[in-house]
Structure 1
Amino acid sequence: MKRALIIVDVQNDFCEGGSLAVDGGASVASRLTDYVAEHAGDYGAIVTTQDWHIDPGAHFSEQPDFVDTWPAHCVAGTAGAAFHPDLDVSGVDAMFRKGQYAAAYSGFEGHLAQAGDAEGTSDDSPGLDEWLSRHGITDVDVAGIATDYCVKATALDSARVGYRTTVLRDLCAGIADDLEPTFRDLESAGVRLA
């Protein structure tokens, strides 16, 4: 068994003060930093995902419905797309960016970020599943923002492609007041909650 930690979208725009802020986002950033400091040795890899929007089409709206359309957020190269300053990414093994030209909720839609590439990724850079497979990962822990959107989508895809998947509930922040439906959906798909 070789385990990876996937830290999902702990970015400024998803934390307090951001354009699409989730209550508790900054606290998640701090708690994840502490968690990684204590548990880095438990993981064969630690990776992050980032929304990295260039022109995501109808994903952005001036009259968002907050289901399929959203206010502009995490625009590539902006301060809003950067990791929250309370999240220490110095020990991260790989960063995956998603959503350049379309909505993307799951980290498994992302590609390895490439230094020097204006878009932040390259068409031939590996996707998250390919990268995890190459590194012999069998088990995945998922944490980050938002529990009921990108964390959920990432965990569901992780389980679907065959990783033993756990969502670390205390290291996530959600949008909905009631996250029980999200947790039921995850458990129904074989995702463990811890």
Structure 2
Amino acid sequence: MSRALLIVDVQNDFTEGGALAVAGGDAVASGVSALLAERSGDYTVIIASRDWHDPVGDNGGHFSAEPDYVDSWPAHCVAGTEGAEYDPLLATDAITHHVRKGQGIPAYSLFEGTAEDGRTVGGILAAHGITDADVVGIATDHCVRASSLDAIAHGVHVRVLTDLVAGVGADSSEAALAELVHAGAELVDARPEVGQSPHTASGA
């Protein structure tokens, strides 16, 4: 079994103080760093995605001055800005592949992005024989959901580490996790203490 860690959009604009801040975003960043400090060796590849939207235009309708917060949003994670950078609480040394997505178009799944060498996430996982993936990041009900569903579609067994994700809304996040379980994902608690391994969560 070869396992990947997929870190979805742990960026300044999605954590506390950002343009589209999600409550608990900083805690996700710190928790993922703790996980990497203890168990980065458990993963064959560690892939982190960032929204990287174009600074001009509406990015295919993704940006709007009057957003509906479903299909359109205020400007966020604009390429080259501080908001698009990783949250400073996220340790990035162990990340093996950095993926950018949403350049001129809406993009929720990290599978829609490309790595610095131009490879797709699907291509990276296939090249390394990845059969399993742990998914963490922001937001549970949007990009974590989309990324997890795409991983499942690529034939990868997905575990969502439920204490290392944060969502926009409580109800929508609960619905997203239920959808992922129905699609075949497993919900687990990371518990990044020394000597412990992820185990099945008792609830979402």
Q: Normalized against structure 1, the TM-score is what?
A: 0.93
1:176 is matched with which residue? Answer: 169
Q: CA deviation at 1:137?
A: 1.1
1:2 is matched with which residue? Answer: 2
Alignment of 1:145-160 (within 5 A): 145-160=138-153
Structure 1 distance, partners of 2:161, 2:129, is 21
2:163 alignment partner, SS class: strand
Query: How far does the alpha carbon of each residue in 1:30-89 deviate from its partner, in whole angstroms, 9 at most, with x for none?
Result: 111001111111111111000000151310001100000000000011100000000000
**Which of the residues 130, 135, 139 maps onto 1:142?**
135
1:74 is matched with which residue? Answer: 77
Q: CA deviation at 1:111?
A: 0.3
Amino acid at match of 1:50: R
1:120 is matched with which residue? Answer: none
User: How many matched pairs?
Assistant: 184
Matched, 1:29 2:22: no
Matched, 1:93 2:96: yes
Q: CA deviation at 1:113?
A: 2.1
- Identical counterparts, % of pairs: 51
Matched, 1:188 2:182: yes
Which structure 1 residue ranges, 5 or more long, are not aligned?
115-124
Structure 2 distance, partners of 1:136, 1:93, is 15
Amino acid at match of 1:129: G
**Which of the residues 97, 122, 130 maps onto 2:123?**
130
Structure 2 distance, partners of 1:170, 1:61, is 32
Amino acid at match of 2:70: V
Structure 2 distance, partners of 1:184, 1:145, is 17
Flag as ranges the 4+ runs of structure 1 deviating above 3 A: none
Amino acid at match of 2:155: G
Query: How far does the alpha carbon of each residue in 1:86-135 deviate from its partner, in whole angstroms, 9 at most, with x for none?
Result: 00001110011100011000000010125xxxxxxxxxx11100011111
1:119 is matched with which residue? Answer: none
Which structure 2 residue ranges, 5 or more long, are not aligned?
189-204
Structure 2 distance, partners of 1:190, 1:177, is 21
Structure 2 distance, partners of 1:152, 1:177, is 14
Q: Normalized against structure 2, the TM-score is what?
A: 0.88
1:88 alignment partner, SS class: coil
Matched, 1:163 2:159: no
